[in-house]
Amino acid sequence: MAGVTGWHYRLVTFQGWVADMSLPGSFLVYATSPIPELAGRAGGTSLWRSASLAAPATARVEWADVAKGVCIVLVVSWHVIVKDYLLVDWHIGLPLPGFWGTLGEQFLPLRMPLFFTISGLFAANAVRRPWREVARSRIAKFLYLYTVWLVIHTAILPVAPDLPTERATSPLDFLAQLTITPSNLWYLYALAIYFVVAKAVRRAPPAAVLVPAAVLSAVAAAGWVSTPGDRGGFYQNLVFFLAGLWFRPRVERLAAGATRRRLVLAAAAYVVVLVLMAALGAEEWFGVWLVVSVVAVMFGVTAAARLTRRPRISDRLVRLGRVTLPIYVIHMPVLAVLHRLLHEPLSALGGGAQLLVALVYPPMLTALVVVLCLMIHRGLTRVGARWLFDLPAVARRRATEPAGALP
């Protein structure tokens, strides 16, 4: 088992197999082609329309939503790999599980830092509002959602006891997850606390806040502090949320100037820093993970901006980017149920059939989980359970509006 490295675990490959699991990050997979067809069978394109905002988006908003759409696919796909795929008893004679795991690890520095950077961009206007409004619309909302879905996860996840994810097994565990050691829903927990910090330091010089946040991120990534549960991700990503908040004009200029040449350069820089980090074994060196994540965010912003020029891909990612909340909170229980149903049959498959499944399983199951999350969200909102995705009073006022976007 690999050692803790802040908010991730290093994947260790031996004999072609990945022998560890980590939460943040994933491989980049555009598993969108099967989704519209499934959505059509569920009732035309209404499943996808439920994710759209009422007003048309500008190009700048579109690239940010594309980035969020990619990030939520990365969340689901990585959990599919490390919490289900790698647990199957593969007897295929090829290192496909090791390939998928190693490929996914290369996006660990990208997924959550990019997600929080975009969240910071969308938070810029909110933190200018009075404390009372920020407390209700952001802080209370995310703490409420975290609590509600922590209860739901605690109730459902035991259906797959071998699923390697944080779950409360006692009242004391539940209390710890609710307060100091966030669960796999930690993104909601982090957003609530980050809004408190951002509002409190809004008038402070950026350097006076970003430097301590960067130090905290580097310390956590280096493993110099205890990071039980998903506390490491909470420590490491505050700097990206605050950077998105303060450097929004610069990030938008980066997106606006995303030429093909800049995309190639950003991708090359990301590959180089990944190779250097791996070659030097520098994942736990102070500051290295932070620098690699900054390069990854620059690549992610540039790539998302370029994708907006390919509407057949970007339109679907934009829609996903506007319904990230239900996918985020629903996907783990869905994955737990699917793992319970599929683990033994897949482990018992013959060599030829299992080889085919091992080749295509991660992207296919990722697409299935995303579709099921959208369908469950649609069903819950139709029966009036919008309080699962917003504060009850707000949910009642928005009963006729689309719902479900994380900031």
With a cut of 50, say whether residue 206 has pLDDT above it: yes
Q: What mean pLDDT is predicted for residues 195-205?
A: 95
Q: Which of 176, 121, 126 is nearest to 150 (CA)?
A: 176
Q: What mean pLDDT is predicted for residues 216-234?
A: 94
Q: What mean pLDDT is predicted for residues 172-196?
A: 96
**Could you tell me if residue 15 is inside a domain?**
no
**Could you tell me if residue 370 is inside a domain?**
yes
Residue 399: per-residue pLDDT = 59
Which three-class secondary structure state does DSSP give residue 78?
Answer: helix
Q: What is the reported pTM? A: 0.83
Q: Which of 305, 291, 292 is nearest to 263 (CA)?
A: 305
Domain that holds residue 180: 25-397
With a cut of 90, say whether residue 40 has pLDDT above it: no
Residue 350: per-residue pLDDT = 84
Q: Return the percentage of the chain with pLDDT > 90, whole number.
A: 78
Q: What angle do CA 25, 235, 292 make, to 5 degrees?
A: 50
Please report which confidence band the pLDDT of residue 404 belongs to, taking 50, 70 and 90 as the band edges: low
**Could you tell me if residue 404 is inside a domain?**
no
Cβ-based neighbours of 70, under 8 Å, separated by 6 or more: 28, 114, 300, 304, 317, 321
Element holding 17 (H helix, E strand): strand 17-18
**Could you tell me if residue 11 is inside a domain?**
no
Please report which confidence band the pLDDT of residue 11 belongs to, taking 50, 70 and 90 as the band edges: very low
What's the pLDDT tens digit per position in 353-387? 999 999 999 999 999 999 999 999 999 999 999 99
**Could you tell me if residue 367 is inside a domain?**
yes
**Could you tell me if residue 246 is inside a domain?**
yes
> What tokens appear for 168 in the block?
């409360």
For the ranges 58-72, 220-234, 235-249, 302-316, the lowest mean pLDDT is seen at 58-72
Look at the chain and report how many structural domains it folds into: 1
Residue 195: per-residue pLDDT = 97
Q: Contact, 201 vs 209, CB < 8 A?
A: yes
Specify the higher pLDDT residue, 191 or 400: 191
Residue 402: per-residue pLDDT = 57
Which three-class secondary structure state does DSSP give residue 5?
Answer: strand
Distance CA 392, CA 105 (A): 38
**Could you tell me if residue 50 is inside a domain?**
yes
With a cut of 50, say whether residue 59 has pLDDT above it: no
Which three-class secondary structure state does DSSP give residue 69?
Answer: helix
What's the pLDDT tens digit per position in 104-137? 999 999 999 999 999 999 998 899 999 999 999 9
Q: What angle do CA 77, 144, 133 make, to 5 degrees?
A: 115
* Mean pLDDT (the chain, rounded): 86
Please report which confidence band the pLDDT of residue 52 belongs to, taking 50, 70 and 90 as the band edges: very low
Residue 21: per-residue pLDDT = 32
With a cut of 50, say whether residue 4 has pLDDT above it: no
Q: What mean pLDDT is predicted for residues 187-191?
A: 97
Residue 393: per-residue pLDDT = 76
Q: Contact, 217 vs 236, CB < 8 A?
A: yes
